[in-house]
Amino acid sequence: MSEGQQKRTQKCISCGINITGTTAASFKCPECGYQIYRCSKCRKQSNLYQCPDCGFTGP
Ligand SMILES: [Zn+2]
Ligand SMILES: [Zn+2]
């Protein structure tokens, strides 16, 4: 089976930069389970995030 191209672009939910590899934190939205990524910088600063799916905001 060939799967074609897989896009694995992950963007920081807070600042929108592309995330590569291990510096990111990933977690699921407590409301809807949407997979959310956040870069180490925003994690350090405890920036707020907003779930693009349900609009939930959290630290
Ligand atoms: Zn960020
Ligand atoms: Zn959500």
Higher per-residue confidence, 6 vs 21: 21
Is residue 21 assigned to a domain? yes
Q: Which amino acid is at 43?
A: R
Rounded CA gap, 12 and 49, in Å?
Answer: 9
Is residue 35 assigned to a domain? yes
Is residue 1 assigned to a domain? no
Q: Using one digit for the tens of pLDDT, what is the confidence trace for 39-51? A: 988 888 988 889 9
Q: Give residue 25's domain range.
A: 10-58
CA dihedral (14, 16, 17, 22) in degrees, to 10, reads 50
Number of domains in the chain: 1
Q: 21 CA distance to ligand 2 centroid (A)?
A: 23
Ligand nearest to the CA of 13: 1
Is residue 2 assigned to a domain? no
Is residue 49 assigned to a domain? yes
Q: 1 CA distance to ligand 2 centroid (A)?
A: 33
Is residue 32 assigned to a domain? yes
pLDDT band for position 57 (50/70/90)?
Answer: very high
Rounded CA gap, 32 and 28, in Å?
Answer: 8
